[in-house]
Amino acid sequence: MTITDMSLKDMAIGLEEKQFSSQEATQEHLERIEKLNPQLGAYISVTAKEALAAAEASDKRRANKESKGPLDGIPMALKDIISTNGIATTCASRMLENYTPPYNSTCWQHLEDAGAVLLGKLNMDEFAMGSSTETSYFGVCHNPFDLDYVPGGSSGGSAVAVAADMAAYTLGTDTGGSIRQPAHFCGVVGIKPTYGRVSRFGVIPYASSLDQVGVLAKTCADAGTVLGAISGKDKMDSTSAPEPIPDYAAACTKGVKGLRIGIAKEFCAAGIEDAILAELKRAVEILEREGAVVEDISLPHTEYALPAYYVLASAEASSNLARYDGVRYGLRIPADNLHDMMIATRSAGFGPEVKRRIMLGTYALSSGYYDAYYNKTLQVRTLIKQDYDQIFASGFDCILTPPAPSAAFRIGENTDDPLTMYMQDVCTVPVNLAGLPAMVVPMGLNAEGLPIGIQLIGAPFGEEKLFAAGAAIEGPRIIPPLDI
Is 315 contained in some domain?
no
If one counts the domains in the chain, the total is 1
pLDDT at 483 over 80: no
Q: What is the mean pLDDT of residues 386-405?
A: 98
pLDDT at 398 over 70: yes
Say if residue 479 is exposed, middle or buried (CB neighbours under 10 Å; 0-12, 13-18, 19+).
middle
Q: Residue 44's domain spans which residues?
A: 3-254
Is 399 contained in some domain?
no
pLDDT at 1 over 90: no
Could you tell me how far CA 334 lies from the centroid of its own chain?
36
With cut-offs at 50, 70 and 90, classify the pLDDT of residue 118: very high
Convert the pLDDT of each residue in 33-70 to its tens digit: 999 999 999 999 999 999 999 999 999 999 999 999 99
- H-run or E-run covering 346: helix 338-349
Is 319 contained in some domain?
no
The percent of residues in the chain predicted with pLDDT above 70, rounded, is 99
| Catalytic residue numbers, as ranges | 79, 154, 178
How far, CA to CA in Å, does 210 sit from each of 178, 200, 217, 379? 11, 11, 22, 16
Convert the pLDDT of each residue in 212-243 to its tens digit: 999 999 999 999 999 999 999 999 999 999 99
Convert the pLDDT of each residue in 335-361 to its tens digit: 999 999 999 999 999 999 999 999 999
How far, CA to CA in Å, does 300 sit from each of 267, 375, 385? 10, 20, 11
Helices (DSSP H) in 203-252: which residue ranges?
220-230, 248-251
What average pLDDT does the chain have?
A: 97
Identify the three-state secondary structure at position 91.
coil
What number of other Cβ atoms are within 10 A of residue 86's Cβ? 11
Q: What is the dihedral of CA 271, 306, 468, 109, to 10 degrees?
A: 130
Is 19 contained in some domain?
yes
With cut-offs at 50, 70 and 90, classify the pLDDT of residue 475: very high
CATH number at residue 55: 3.90.1300.10
Written as one letter, the residue type at 358 is I
Geometric angle at alpha carbon 465, from 460 and 469, rounded to 5°? 135
Could you tell me how far CA 148 lies from the centroid of its own chain?
22
pLDDT at 374 over 80: yes
pLDDT at 321 over 90: yes
- pLDDT value, residue 124: 98
Written as one letter, the residue type at 375 is N
- pLDDT value, residue 271: 87
pLDDT at 377 over 90: yes
- pLDDT value, residue 484: 63
Convert the pLDDT of each residue in 282-320 to its tens digit: 999 999 999 999 999 999 999 999 999 999 999 999 999
Is 464 contained in some domain?
no
- pLDDT value, residue 418: 86
Is 402 contained in some domain?
no
Q: What is the mean pLDDT of residues 428-449?
A: 98
- pLDDT value, residue 308: 97
Residue among 19, 98, 459, 444 nearest 273 (CA): 444
Integer Cα distance of 425 and 66 in angstroms: 45
Q: Report the relative pairing of strands 293-297 and 260-264 from DSSP bridges.
A: parallel
Q: What is the mean pLDDT of residues 368-397?
A: 96
- pLDDT value, residue 328: 86
Residue among 165, 163, 167 nearest 186 (CA): 163
Is 157 contained in some domain?
yes
Q: What is the mean pLDDT of residues 438-453?
A: 97
Integer Cα distance of 84 and 103 in angstroms: 6
Convert the pLDDT of each residue in 132-168 to its tens digit: 999 999 999 999 999 999 999 999 999 999 999 999 9
405 touches 424 (CB < 8 A):
yes
- pLDDT value, residue 65: 95
187 touches 162 (CB < 8 A):
no
Identify the three-state secondary structure at position 294.
strand
How far, CA to CA in Å, does 265 sit from each of 32, 350, 369, 437, 467? 43, 39, 33, 20, 23
- pLDDT value, residue 329: 87
- pLDDT value, residue 38: 97
- Measured in degrees and rounded to the nearest 5, phi and psi for residue 2 equal -85, 170
Burial letters 279-312, b for 16+ CB under 10 A, else e:
bbebbbebbeeeebbbeebebebbebbbebbbbb
Is 23 contained in some domain?
yes
Question: CB neighbours of 319 closer than 8 A, spacing ≥ 6?
Answer: 361, 365
Residue among 29, 32, 10 nearest 19 (CA): 10
Written as one letter, the residue type at 408 is A
Could you tell me how far CA 125 lies from the centroid of its own chain?
12
